[in-house]
Structure 1
Amino acid sequence: MNQLVFDDDIYNTIRHNIKKCRKEKGLTAAELAELIGRSHDFVRQIESEKVAYNFSVETLYRISVALDVSLDKLIEK
Structure 2
Amino acid sequence: MEKSEMLKAIGENIKRIRLEKGLTQVDLVGRIEARIDTTNISRIEKGRTNATIHTLFRISQALEVPLTEICNLSK
Query: One fold, TM greater than 0.5?
Result: yes
| AA matched with 1:19 | K
Tell me what 2:70 maps to.
74
Q: TM-score, normalised by structure 2?
A: 0.82
What number of residue pairs does the alignment pair up?
69
Answer yes or no: is the 8 Å Cα contact 1:29–1:44 preserved in 2. yes
Structure 2: which 5+ residue stretches go unaligned? none
Aligned twin of 1:39? 37
Q: Which consecutive residues of structure 1, in runs of 5 or more, have no partner in the other structure?
A: 1-6
Greater radius of gyration (CA): 1
Q: Distance in 1 between matches of 2:27 and 2:46?
A: 17
- Letter aligned with residue 41 of structure 2: V
Residue in structure 1 matched with residue 58 of structure 2 by the alignment: 62
Whole-angstrom CA distance in 2 between matches of 1:27 and 1:41: 15
Percent identical pairs in the alignment equals: 35
1:46 counterpart letter in structure 2: I
**Structure 1 residue runs of 4 or more that deviate by more than 2 Å after TM superposition:** none
